[in-house]
Amino acid sequence: MGLLQPESGLLFWMTLAFAVVLVVLARYGFPVIVKAIESRKEYIDSSLDAAREAEQKCATLEARSREIINEAEVRRNEILREADTERKQILADARQKAESEGARLLEKSRLQAETERTAILADAKREIAALAVAITERMLRQDLDNREAQTQLASRLMEELDPKNRKTWTPD
């Protein structure tokens, strides 16, 4: 007999061995294999669900991140506007204060100049009065019949009463 035409006894024992192996595998092997395959399928399904959930959370977080960034930009712009407004207000206040201080100092200087001017004029009037009294006093002491003698006397007295040599006369 050849390999292509087995005998009936060989065929019987091969079928019986196959049936025993099939029963043993069906009884003990297949449930374990099926259980492992189903376990693997459940693991893959749960991993896919977790991946979908993670992707959804990531999208939610990304949207929230964009929202926070937009809120931060709005707040930053608001703070910049407030700072600019406050800066302008501070500059306006400083300008106004400087103008009022300048006006006050100008008025004070004007009043001081006016006071000094008044004092100088009063002092000049006193000096002129003192000179006039001194000249008149000396003119009255001399005989002044002619006009030319009076003029010469006045000139000479003015030279004598040079501001360096003169003492201030104050009326009693």
Q: What is the pLDDT of residues 37-53, one digit of tens each?
A: 999 999 999 999 999 99
H or E segment and range at residue 152: helix 147-160
pLDDT at 41: 96
Instruction: Please report whether residue 6 resides in a domain.
Output: no
Instruction: Please report whether residue 1 resides in a domain.
Output: no
Give the span between the Cα atoms of 44 and 34, in whole angstroms: 15
pLDDT at 5: 78
Domain that holds residue 116: 22-160
Give the span between the Cα atoms of 103 and 152, in whole angstroms: 53
What lies within 8 Å, CB to CB, of 142 at 6+ separation is 149, 153
Instruction: Please report whether residue 7 resides in a domain.
Output: no
pLDDT at 144: 59
Query: CB neighbours (10 Å) of residue 154?
Result: 15
Number of domains in the chain: 1
Instruction: Please report whether residue 99 resides in a domain.
Output: yes
Instruction: Please report whether residue 2 resides in a domain.
Output: no
Instruction: Please report whether residue 169 resides in a domain.
Output: no
Instruction: Please report whether residue 79 resides in a domain.
Output: yes
pTM: predicted TM-score of the whole model, two decimal places? 0.41
* Residue ranges for the chain with pLDDT beneath 50: 169-172
H or E segment and range at residue 139: helix 30-141
Give the span between the Cα atoms of 96 and 144, in whole angstroms: 68
